[in-house]
Amino acid sequence: MAFYDSVFKALGLSDWCGAEASSAPMSMADLLAQSSGEATKEEFFPFPSLDNLNESCSGIIQSRDVTKGIEEGFLAAKPTLKAILDPITQPLSWLLDGALWTFAATPWFIMVPILVAIAWFASRSVGVTIFVAFSIFLLGLVDHYDVAMQTLSIIFVCTGISVMLGVPIGIAMSKSDRLQRSLVPVLDLLQTLPTFVYLIPLIFLFSVTESKLYGIAIILYAIVPVVRLTDLGIRLVDQDVIEAADAFGMTSRQKLLGVQLPLALPNIMAGINQTIMMSLAMVVIASLVSAPGLGVNVLRGIRNLELGVGIVAGIGIVLLAVILDRVSKAALSRVDMTRVKH
Amino acid sequence: MATEPKVRLRGLYKIFGARHKEVLHHVKEGMGKEDLLEHHKHVLGLQDINVDMQAGEITVVMGLSGSGKSTLIRHLNRLIEPTAGEILVDGIDVMALSEPDLREVRQTKMSMVFQKFALLPHRTVVQNAAMSLKTRGFSEAEQQSEAMKWLARVGLQGYENRYPAQLSGGMQQRVGIARALTANTDIMLMDEAFSALDPLIRTDMQNLLLELQDELQKTIIFITHDLDEALKLADHLVILKDGAVIQQGEPQGILMNPCDPYIEDFVSDINRARVLRVKSVMEPLSGSKFAGDVDVGDNLESLIARSEGDTSLHYRVMSGGTAVGELHMRDLVKALVPRLSSSEDVSPPKS
C-alpha cells in the first residue's frame, strides 16, 4: 500500500491508473531490498516523485522512462541529423587529419624554427620568444615532442575555426539585439554544460574513429568567449566615433571594417586568448574519444595509475598553455599599444 | 539677404519615445515638456523650429544643456530623425532622401565637428583628416595632399604621423576641424566644438574659425552654451529653450532688444562693452562737431578707452571711408546698462 493511493482514490482517478500498480518494472532499490530479505521501508510522507507516484498509479510513468524517452528521441532523430551534419562537418575531419599529418611529417629542425618565428612575429617580445623555444626544447628532451605537436595542431585547427565562425557570429549579435537575446542563453549553456556531456550525443552521431568528433566538441566549448567578446567589443566602441563615421557618410561596411572591428580588436583578441585556453582544456578531455596528444598520456596515467607518465604529460600541457597564453597576450598588448600614449 | 537660404528648417518637431507620432498632436495643441513627460512618458526634444541659415554665414544655436541644441544639429544630417517637419538643404528635402542619397549628402554637402573630437584612435592624424576622402574612394595620393594642406592650415604641420591620443585637446580639435575642412563641404556643423577646451585654447580656436571663415565663406552651424562665444562668432543667433526657439536674429539686435525675460537674464551677465559695436548704438548723422572718427565695427570698450571716459564727446561713424552716422558717448554709456522688460519685475523668476 503506497502513500499516494488514497490521493488518487480521492481524485477519482483509480480507473485511469489501473487496478493494481504491479506492472511497473522493479527498481534497483526494490530488488536489493527483496534479495536482502528486508521489506522496503515505507516513508511517512514521500516526495511526490514520478517513481513514488508510479507505485500508486501505474498510469504515471517512471523516472527511468524520461531518460529512456530522451534516448529514444535522440536515436529516432539520429539518421536525419547524421545525414545533415556528416557532410557539413566532414571538412573538419580532413583539416584535423591534415594538420596532424603536417605537424608530424615536418621534421623537428624545421618545425621548431617555424613555431619560434610565429611566436616572434605575434609577440615581438624577445623574452616570450626565448621562453617558447626553451619550452619546446624541454618537451622534446623528455620525448614528448610528438604528442605536444599533436595537441598543438588540434588547437591550431580548432581555434582557427572557432575564430572564423565566432567573429562573424559576434558581429551579427552586436548588430541585432534580438539575436543577442536569443544567443546568450545558448552560449551560457555551452559554457556551463559539463564538458563530458558534449561527448555523449557526439559519440552517438559520429564514429569514435573520426577526428571531427573531438573537433566538434572542442569547437563548441571553445567558441563561446570569442563570440561573447566580439559582441561586447563592438558594442563598447565609443558612440561618438560611430556618430562621426555616420556623419561623414560611411557605409555600414566601411564602418565595420574601418571603425568597429579595429576598435573592438583588443576585446576580440582577449576572446581569442580565452578560446585558445579553453580548447587546450578540452583537448585533454577529448582524449577520451580518441583525440591524440598529451591528453592520451594523462589518461594513461589515470587508467594505469602511472603517476610519472601522468604528471609529465600534465606539466607538458601546462607548458603549452603558458606558451599559447603568453604569445597571444603579447600580441594583444601590442594591438592595445596604438591607442595609448607612448 | 534676399538669396535663398542654404539650410531651411520648417516646422521641425522631435519627440523621443516609442509612440512619438501619436503624441505629436498634443504638442501641437500646446502641451509643454513637463506635461508630456508626466502624462505620456515622452520627452519633448524640439518644437516648431523654423530657422533659415544663409550661405556664407555662421549661424549660432545657443541654449543651456537640455534645450535641444545638440538634437537640432543632428537633424540637419539626419543622425536623428525628426517626428515632423521639413529640412531643406540647397532646396533639397533631406527627409525624402534614400539611404545612399543621404550618404552622398553627408559625404559631399556637410561635415561635422564634435564636442568630444570623435577621432579614430587607431589612425594617425593625417589618416583622420583624410577620413572623408577615404570614405569617398579618393586615391591615396589625393587623400594625403588634401589632408596635409588642411592640417597645415590649422597649424598642425609636423604632427601628421602622430596618433590622436598623443595630442592635447586643442590639437585634437584642430584635427577635427581639418577633417571637416578636408571633406570640402559647403556646410560645416559644429556641435559644441570648443566646449571641451580650456578658455585660452578656446579663444585661439574661435579666432582660427573666424580667420578660416573670412577666407572660405562656409555655411557654419555652430552649437554652444556659452553666450560670449555665441556673440563672438554669430552672424545669426538662435536662442533655444526647452526645445523651442525663443528669439533669433542678429546678435547685436538680440542684445539691445531681448524679447523674453529668459534672454534678458542671460544677456545681463555678459560684458556688454566688449560685445556691443558702434553700429548698434549710433544715430543718423546730424551734428558737425566731432571729436574724431570711429569705425562701425569697433566695440564700445575701445571707444571708452579712447574718450578716456568723457561722456560729452561725439564721434563720427565711418564705414569703408564714408560717414554713416554719429555716436554720442552718453548713448554709449546708457547702452551698457541691460534693458529690463518692466521696472516692477526686475529679476524674472528663474524656472
pLDDT, tens digit, 9 for 90 and up, residues B145-191: 999 999 998 989 899 899 999 999 889 999 999 999 999 999 999 99
* A225-250 mean pLDDT: 94
Cell triple for A112: 621548431
* A251-274 mean pLDDT: 92
So what's the pLDDT on residue B308? 84
So what's the pLDDT on residue A175? 93
Q: Spell out which chain A residues touch chain B, with contact meaning CB-CB distance below 8 angstroms.
A: 238, 240-241, 243-244, 246-251, 254, 258-259, 262-263, 338-342
So what's the pLDDT on residue A139? 92
Q: How far is the C-alpha of B132 from the C-alpha of A69, rounded, in Å? A: 62
pLDDT band at A23 (very low <50, low <70, confident <90, very high): low
Q: How far is the C-alpha of A56 from the C-alpha of A313, rounded, in Å? A: 55
pLDDT band at B267 (very low <50, low <70, confident <90, very high): confident
* B25-29 mean pLDDT: 84
Partner-chain contact B121 A263, CB within 8 Å: yes
B237 contacts B230 by C-beta, under 8 angstroms: yes
pLDDT band at A195 (very low <50, low <70, confident <90, very high): confident
pLDDT at A15 over 70: yes
DSSP string, A29-74: HHHHHHHTTPPPP--SS----HHHHHHH-TTSPPHHHHHHHHHHHH
pLDDT band at B24 (very low <50, low <70, confident <90, very high): confident
How far away is chain A from the Cα of B222, in angstroms, using its nearest Cα? 15
Question: Do the bridges between strand B236-241 and strand B58-62 make them parallel or antiparallel, or are there none, so unpaired?
Answer: parallel
So what's the pLDDT on residue A40? 55
A41 contacts A31 by C-beta, under 8 angstroms: no
Tens-place pLDDT, residues A87-115: 888 999 999 999 999 999 999 999 999 99
Q: Spell out which chain B residues touch chain A, with contact meaning CB-CB distance below 8 angstroms.
A: 77, 79, 102-108, 110-112, 114, 116-122, 131-132, 134-136, 163, 165-166, 179, 183, 189
Q: How far is the C-alpha of A283 from the C-alpha of A136, rounded, in Å? A: 19
**Cα A6 off chain centre by:** 48
The amino acid at A26: M
pLDDT at B347 over 60: no
So what's the pLDDT on residue A341? 43
Q: How far is the C-alpha of A261 from the C-alpha of A252, rounded, in Å? A: 12
B60 contacts B224 by C-beta, under 8 angstroms: yes
The amino acid at B26: H
Cell triple for B298: 569697433
Cell triple for A84: 545533415
Q: Which of B194, B318, B296 is nearest to B252 (CA)?
A: B296
The amino acid at A122: A
pLDDT at A33 over 80: no
A222 contacts A275 by C-beta, under 8 angstroms: yes
So what's the pLDDT on residue A19? 53
A237 contacts A259 by C-beta, under 8 angstroms: yes
Q: How far is the C-alpha of A274 from the C-alpha of A264, rounded, in Å? A: 16
What angle (nearest 5°) sits at the alpha carbon of residue B148, between those of residues B142 and B153?
Answer: 130
How far away is chain B from the Cα of A329, in angstroms, using its nearest Cα? 19
Neighbours of B14 (CB within 10 A): 25
Partner-chain contact A248 B122, CB within 8 Å: no
Q: Where are the beta strands (DSSP E) in B285-342?
A: 293-295, 314-319, 322-328
So what's the pLDDT on residue B350? 45
Q: How far is the C-alpha of B110 from the C-alpha of B105, rounded, in Å? A: 7
* A299-310 mean pLDDT: 92
Partner-chain contact A248 B79, CB within 8 Å: no
Which residue of B117, B135, B189 is in closest CB contact with A249?
Answer: B135
Cell triple for B309: 571716459
The amino acid at B265: D
* H or E element in which residue B260 lies: none
Q: How far is the C-alpha of A55 from the C-alpha of A9, rounded, in Å? A: 13
ipTM above 0.85, yes or no: no
Q: Is B276 exposed, middle or buried (0-12, 13-18, 19+ CB in 10 A)?
A: buried
So what's the pLDDT on residue A1? 53
pLDDT at A208 over 90: no
* B131-144 mean pLDDT: 92
* H or E element in which residue B84 lies: strand B84-89
More reliable by pLDDT, A198 or A39: A198
Integer Rg of chain B from CA: 23
Tens-place pLDDT, residues A138-194: 999 999 999 999 999 999 999 999 999 999 999 999 999 999 999 999 999 998 888
pLDDT at B288 over 80: no
Q: How far is the C-alpha of A56 from the C-alpha of A22, rounded, in Å? A: 9
